[in-house]
Amino acid sequence: MPLGERGGWESSESMYCGVETDFSDDVPSLLSFHISTGGFDYVLAPLMNPSYRPSLVEANGSSDTQALPVSGSDLVLAPSQWSSHVVGKVSSWIDLDSEDEVLRMDSETTLKQEIAWATHLSLQACLLPTPKGTSCANYARCVNQILQGLGNLQLWLRVPLVKSDGDSMDATSEGLNDSWELWNSFRLLCEHDSKLSVALDVMSNLPSESSLGRWMGESVRAAIISTDSFLTNARGYPCLSKRHQKLIAGFFDHAVQVVVSGKLVHNLQRASDSNAEGTQRHPLRSYLDYVAYLFQKMEPLPEQERIELGYRDFLQAPLQPLMDNLEAQTYETFERDSIKYIQYQRAVAKALVDRVPDEKASELTTVLMVVGAGRGPLVRASLQAAEETDRKLKVYAVEKNPNAVVTLHNLVKMEGWEDMVTIISCDMRFWTAPEKADILVSELLGSFGDNELSPECLDGAQRFLKPDGISIPSSYTSFIQPVTASKLYNDVKAHKDLAHFETPYVVKLHSVARLAPSQPVFTFAHPNFSTKANNQRYKKLRFNLPSDAGSALVHGFAGYFDSVLYKDVHLGIEPTTETPNMFSWFPIFFPLRKPVEVHPNFPLEVHFWRCCGSTKVWYEWSVSSPALSPMHNTNGRSYWVGL
């Protein structure tokens, strides 16, 4: 049975828990004991007898050397049972980088035989043993060969979750200081293959929070928790430390499967007594119950997060509202974001009060222009601000999309705004206004602030504004931060071309590790009456990883924006200052053609350019330290925003 459904989750999002077992030549009985009796969802089981060695078979002169030494037949289970209830486990004795040539050759032969058998059984995944030493080149080479011809089978590399900080942290017996380094070496040698993932052995001692955070951006598929890592509560039942609980909750949120491993330990005998029906309880059932309890006690996802589940880590091309006319569905999505328009209404209200003192509220009429009015939400917000502040308002609604203009006309008629609102069906850059505006309002911001050409549009529209007029927004700043994003990188890589690596994407970031705090990149302020106004920009940024984090791989940069609508009214998605409960913008993701490994003691240096041509605007970006990356998107060859 699945662990259960977390409140507000789709049924397909239920989590599953497996159990690691020893080799058995009676697989049906194995499943009956662990699944039917124990309640686990699947077994993580060896596929071959651990005593098998190809060299021994040959030495004994057997004539049947080609027969796979598996127990029984594939017929003992139905294909659906193999697929849903068994995850294969490659023999743990194999050592493909051994100095012993016989062992090395036996290991290579056995690895290929076992993966071939797992493929034949239609298993969904197979666990690869942890590399025996720090060198894993031959092991990775053989796995990479296998990956090239692999179908749907996923390979999980078993890696202990350790990072020694020089104090009390335990390293493995092989002297492994940071297991992430081992994983990174292996996946680099396997060319970032999307069918290769990691299964983490969760130890009783955990590394620092910064070190653990790196793994949230990696392709972790399973967390194997030894019974030795559990504590014992006062009633004799297993439990985990607060830090372990937090880690497991994070894994659940990233769809990582949990596997219980080991024997009954500590003072848990009461948990393994016979149940009410008199049948013997599974010895590890109490561990399963505790894992299920951790899952079920997680907070339900907010409604908006549930709506956005399908967008998590999904690459989308940014909108080009200046070059393309938006469709009704796009308008509908953005108009549902009430928080955004509440902030705009607050900003307009403050501007109206500053513009017209109370004693002249009944005399003066403020001229407000909404440039890029869409289907009218900013018009409505502005009129509501006027009503709230008891100010008189005259609105020009300027919109270039003829389809949205139809909706605007109907809205004005339906709401009875004919005396207050004038609709202008025209591109704001080419309209000649009959009078100057006191306030200019727009919602042209993109995920990176200026990436939907708000600077160019507002520079062109500010000629409508009085010299002392107010622009809402008054300024906006873009931000970037380095991220580990294995899934996003593999999704871009799957296109097998340069263009996709030079395209920024709008993404609901989820399976990413944010490696350092974000930093500001480009800032634009409006109105900008400078005679030397130029919207080209260049910025060099330097990021430092936390000293206790360990090394990490940067797959690209997450981009955000923060804007000042008016005075203290802000709007933005930068993580530390984001507007709560607003969903109009997902972050933007700038990929790197070649991921860059970074270390805590060596800063990451990145360069960003905003380039402007006569017909387009584009970004170029490059890393200069700790390693040089190619220049991305030179001359806007792969991505640009059309003017």
Whether residues 364 and 261 fall in one domain: no
Comparison of pLDDT for 264 and 446, the residue scoring more? 446
Would you call 440 helix, strand, or coil by DSSP?
Answer: strand
Distance, CA of 263 to CA of 270 (rounded, Å): 15
Distance, CA of 19 to CA of 36 (rounded, Å): 13
Pick from 27, 32, 125: which is nearest to 76 by CA?
A: 27
Q: Percentage of residues in the chain with pLDDT exceeding 90?
A: 76
Is residue 16 within 8 Å of residue 42, measured between CB atoms?
yes
CATH code for the domain of 25: 3.20.20.150
Distance, CA of 194 to CA of 334 (rounded, Å): 34
Give the pLDDT score at 74.
Answer: 86
The annotation places the binding site at 331, 340-341, 399, 427-428
Whether residues 404 and 481 fall in one domain: no
Whether residues 213 and 175 fall in one domain: yes
Give the pLDDT score at 326.
Answer: 83
Whether residues 539 and 488 fall in one domain: yes
pLDDT tens, position by position, 314-328: 999 887 777 778 888
Question: Residue 501: in which H helix or E strand, if any?
Answer: helix 498-501
Is residue 394 within 8 Å of residue 484, measured between CB atoms?
no
Distance, CA of 582 to CA of 201 (rounded, Å): 38
CATH code for the domain of 635: 2.70.160.11
Whether residues 48 and 147 fall in one domain: yes
Is residue 119 within 8 Å of residue 79, measured between CB atoms?
no
pLDDT tens, position by position, 531-580: 777 899 999 999 999 999 999 999 999 999 999 999 999 999 999 999 99
pLDDT tens, position by position, 399-415: 999 999 999 999 999 99
Residue 545 lies in a domain: yes
Question: What is the number of structural domains in the chain?
Answer: 3
Distance, CA of 480 to CA of 449 (rounded, Å): 11
Q: Is 496 exposed, middle or buried (0-12, 13-18, 19+ CB in 10 A)?
A: exposed
Tokens of 593: 């053609």
Question: Residue 245: in which H helix or E strand, if any?
Answer: helix 242-253
Contacts of 159-162 with CB under 8 Å at 24 or more apart are 159/130, 159/183, 159/198, 159/199, 159/200, 159/201, 160/130, 160/200, 160/201, 160/203, 161/200, 161/201, 161/202, 161/203, 161/206, 161/207, 161/212, 161/215, 162/203, 162/205, 162/207
> How many helices and strands in the chain, by DSSP H and E?
17, 26
Tell whether the model's pLDDT for residue 102 goes beyond 80.
yes
CA dihedral (211, 217, 218, 223) in degrees, to 10, reads: 70
Whether residues 131 and 243 fall in one domain: yes
Residue 562 lies in a domain: yes
Residue 323 lies in a domain: no
Q: How many alpha carbons fall within 13 Å on the CB side of residue 547?
A: 2
- Residue 335 is among the residues annotated as catalytic for this protein: no
* Contacts of 163 by beta carbon, 8 Å cutoff, 6+ apart: 169, 177, 178, 179, 180, 207, 208, 211, 550
Tell whether the model's pLDDT for residue 268 goes beyond 90.
no
Is residue 421 within 8 Å of residue 399, measured between CB atoms?
no
Sorting pLDDT into bands at 50, 70 and 90, what band is 54? Answer: confident
Q: Where are the alpha helices (DSSP H) in 86-205?
A: 101-120, 137-148, 179-189
Tokens of 74: 């594939």
Pick from 479, 478, 438, 482: which is nearest to 462 by CA?
A: 438
Q: Which of 443, 458, 489 is the last residue of a domain?
A: 443
Give the pLDDT score at 173.
Answer: 41
- Residue 452 is among the residues annotated as catalytic for this protein: yes
Tell whether the model's pLDDT for residue 469 goes beyond 80.
yes
The partner residues of 610 in beta bridges, in order of sequence, read: 537, 619
Task: Give the Cβ contact number of residue 503 at 10 Å.
Answer: 21
Pick from 172, 167, 168, 102: which is nearest to 131 by CA?
A: 172
Q: Which of 20, 114, 443, 502 is catalytic?
A: 443
Give the pLDDT score at 67.
Answer: 52
pTM above 0.75, yes or no: yes
Distance, CA of 191 to CA of 219 (rounded, Å): 14
Range of the domain at 361: 328-443
Give the pLDDT score at 5.
Answer: 56
Is residue 307 within 8 Å of residue 313, measured between CB atoms?
no
Residue 216 lies in a domain: yes
Whether residues 137 and 183 fall in one domain: yes
Whether residues 283 and 194 fall in one domain: yes
Whether residues 577 and 621 fall in one domain: yes
Give the pLDDT score at 56.
Answer: 81
CATH code for the domain of 419: 3.40.50.150
State the SS3 of 352-393: HHHHCCHHHCCCCEEEEEEECCCCCHHHHHHHHHHHHHCCEE
Residue 515 lies in a domain: yes
pLDDT tens, position by position, 601-625: 899 999 999 999 999 999 999 999 9
Residue 2 lies in a domain: no
Pick from 287, 281, 285: which is nearest to 244 by CA?
A: 287
Whether residues 383 and 436 fall in one domain: yes
Tokens of 286: 């109490």
Distance, CA of 93 to CA of 243 (rounded, Å): 32
Sorting pLDDT into bands at 50, 70 and 90, what band is 451? Answer: very high
The annotation places the binding site for S-adenosyl-L-methionine at 331, 340-341, 399, 427-428
Whether residues 554 and 626 fall in one domain: yes
Residue 310 lies in a domain: no
The partner residues of 45 in beta bridges, in order of sequence, read: 88
Whether residues 147 and 246 fall in one domain: yes
Residue 263 lies in a domain: yes
Q: Which of 20, 114, 218, 452 is catalytic?
A: 452
Tokens of 166: 């020089």
b (16+ CB within 10 A) / e for 112-147: ebbbebbbebbbbbbbbbbbbeeebebbbebbbebb
